[in-house]
């Protein structure tokens, strides 16, 4: 069962998406994957709650089934 999270980025979700895409601009696939891995680890460190992180992992993985 997927957890539904409230939208806490509004009205800045488009600005974040654009910043994320800009961060990947000019990177090859391997560099882009490395950036994503670093970003996940930095965000996980900021969240710092293992239960929340596990729930986020489960939620993210559940999108694969759609």
- For residue 1, the model assigns a pLDDT of 63
On whether the CB atoms of residues 59 and 2 are closer than 8 A, the answer is yes
What's this model's pTM, rounded to 2 decimal places?
0.77
pLDDT in tens, the chain (66 residues): 677 778 888 889 999 999 999 999 999 999 999 999 999 999 999 999 999 999 999 988 888 755
ω into 58 cis (within 30 of 0): no
ω into 11 cis (within 30 of 0): yes
- For residue 36, the model assigns a pLDDT of 97
- For residue 66, the model assigns a pLDDT of 53
- For residue 6, the model assigns a pLDDT of 82
């Amino acid at each position: 069962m997927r957890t539904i999270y409230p939208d806490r980025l509004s009205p800045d979700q488009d600005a974040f998406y654009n910043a994320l895409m800009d961060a990947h601009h000019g990177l090859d696939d391997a560099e882009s994957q490395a950036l994503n891995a670093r970003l996940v680890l930095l965000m996980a460190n900021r969240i710092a709650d293992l239960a929340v992180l596990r729930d986020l992992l489960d939620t993210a993985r559940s999108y694969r089934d759609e």
